[in-house]
Structure 1
């Protein structure tokens, strides 16, 4: 029911308080940015020096492990470092784009006497197509599709989902609140409020999937966006167990990634489910796809050399959540899960950079053609 958490920081990475190491990383990034000769090369540089595996991003993830009194200093060091790199990327992008446009205008000629297609072929955005395919999958199982408002009350987004008043997800670093201050309104951080509304309005039994747009106070990078899409599932009935949850997610993984997919559950913690887990499936790009007795490729960019790909969070709905929505946990049980649609698209189609999905270049959508 929430976005998959980031991978743990690499122990070999420099601390966020290691000023010389961070400065060296910034200098290396600035040199690579200046050396980029095309916008395509600059995109590669951006992924290398600001992506999840970069020194700066890894150090940034390590802030949470620092002593409380050191976090502000570390945040200042990393904030200044990221600011210098992103400013350099933006400036270089403008220079290269202008130079490439000027070169294209000077080298290309147009024969105005040739016939043209007055109605160019269009294509739906692959995110929209994938969301429809996901909805069709759940409808085919007999579930219903539920929707809700994107500007949501804090009670639906946090309190009803058993989140403590001081839970980190409520902070301004993660959540975008709607003015005026103290209004209790926010841009929903997950589609879970739709589940609460559905239980209140319709009671149990209930089987729904909730696709939609969600918002987080995240920086745009190769794998994250402040605006993205989730699909969450909720099943409430008598006698439901973790076995039903596993069967549902297994069917989903096999439908989209093939019948050979192997899945597993890893224990985790979410305030709205108990027990909670992360579901992974065996990497389908490297040697790991051949089975558990085959070692993964340590250089595989899809699974990071682990042999497993995170699918999403899941678990049995916490009794407190059922009570908040007016459902008696002594009579009905339920399971829930949350999946990122952008992540599924990136895995299915090998999209390396979130920027490709959101930049609005029509050629990206046309690559997928038209689906009906």
Structure 2
């Protein structure tokens, strides 16, 4: 199969979907790999390292889409890529369709096969291709939050861990999934006073067992959130409903009860955000302030640490990408049922229910294309 890797063109997105080591694995199995010039530079991989791994460097994004049978990306295609995508082409990347109607409509029109990293779901409900980036984003959320709590950057002027004789910062984490768990570890490690909220009692029992003593668990509901926000310094939103829009747990009216200089970090912003006042920002202009409350809502946080992120992401995606190249998407989805849940759009049909419902589009069950033989 001809596997092609474009250079990411989203603002400040420095990750790349395939490392030279990954390219070598494809070549070893007899596939052809095409990488756009400078695609790996932001992550620290030169064109020469791809060439020595057996990949061919192509000069433009047009030549990449023209050549590839499978397109490997990190982020969803942006406007200028829409018309380059061909019918029956397999796109394997993060899509987050539920928060982007123009993208959804464009992919329906393209008649391509869109397989989304974020909805590949194992029988135990784990999301193997979302986990590595969630781990990065969860850890970064605390780094960024700690940074923006500094006065010159617009925060309250409070040190996350405090020092002897002063109280540490209070951190509230909404959602006890991968992002929330990693954020809690980081915030606890820096010495903050952490509360992590979730709606699942089994999950909270687990967190209560594994977390250090400065992390408390609490049932997530509006009453508890309203009680805590007046005394909280940093709030991290990490609620995920796979493939669907995140619910608003922090509403506009709650901001008036927060201390001036409180910092909100919404990691769920690429799925619509769980903080109502959150609008996607970029690494160039990461923050804005509403009612004295600082919002950090960068939609591709892991893009700021591309070397770590690219390695973490490709560790997870490569086995699936090799499987798709070896056996084609139909057979691969039969061999690995979790890939079937990754399918969002096939040849113009929306086959992922949450996406169809979000935009009132006709829904075609994926079994129409893939039989359970």
Please give the range of the TM-score, normalised by the shorter of the 2 chains: under 0.3
Larger Rg belongs to: 1
The two structures have a TM-score, normalised by structure 1, of 0.28
